[in-house]
Structure 1
């Protein structure tokens, strides 16, 4: 790919699941990827990708729930890159086995820190770099489980609450970043066969990420806070 068309993309939670697949497919397209993960020394798949795409992978330590880690991450990104074209807020947690009557405040708070607070804080801190990018976007990986209108039963409360909050954060980001020329979009990747989604999920990570990236390519606008599925169809709030 021509160097002029090469984008710089940040992917959080890049060591496994959707994050790893985003990294793999973005590299195959010719993009440069800043891959954020908690323990780069144990991210074997990322290390293999870095070897396969020399000079195109920048693996940086990032615990999205930790303020100091986020600050260090942003500083390292700024030191090595003049601009960022796309921020994929992918890192997330889904606490298993929550039951009403036994929900723990600490679990809910940690889930909100990872799934809601971190994407907003990273977008805020990286806004100056994004503003210098080409067709810059913040892409928040949300979930249909965060759609209040689709909630028909009790289940995964911490995760669902955090994703509903992320959807509002997406709208807030869109209003704040529009004057800088930065688009914002939230998308549900579907029920994906990852460590989080489980083996029964009908969609592979490869299929989901391919459709999400294709949707971003086809979308004529940058995004103004919409919540969509991986095909680009609007989802209810």
Structure 2
């Protein structure tokens, strides 16, 4: 069995590699999200172990990109107990399993073998929020059957909001998940792109589903819920 381990803590990565070797598992290590993504694209892995908090590209963005590219290699996410991200987000993005640090190498090996036996995950189904539909695999967005053309950034923003529909997400959270953990530009870029998105998913349909919650952030609601909260 051959796996890809993307972990920025070098001593931990080497420890995991040595521990899994005793279980007959060959490990290739990458220490940042960008290098991990490139390695995953090369293929040949039975599974990928992916830390969430990574330099250059966080684990969520690596996973999102792989699934968008129709790479269905099983992915096990590593999460910290007090991390900002939770396991639900990982599963919604297409993760197959997770472990919380610290963890047992025996358990990790067992989980990886189970993923290998299970095989590659299936493609995600379309996401829906009222009459709004987004297909992560085909990169298609529509409202009530009418196609909506979005840029790559607008698509990623909508995907994040629709996966978190009904929940308020701050500009910082959006930047971390839609842009990049290393992004250092102004936060008002989020406001700009929310405006672009509204003009495409709401305005032509006479709706107000993408809402600003003053002082907190933004949320996406289904048509009926948005009408109630106007």
Q: Write 1 or 2 for the structure with the bigger share of strand.
A: 2
Pick the structure with greater CA Rg. Answer: 2
TM bin, normalised by shorter chain, reads: 0.3 to 0.5
Query: What TM-score, normalized to structure 1?
Result: 0.38
The answer to which structure, 1 or 2, has the higher relative contact order (CA under 8 A, 6+ apart) is 1
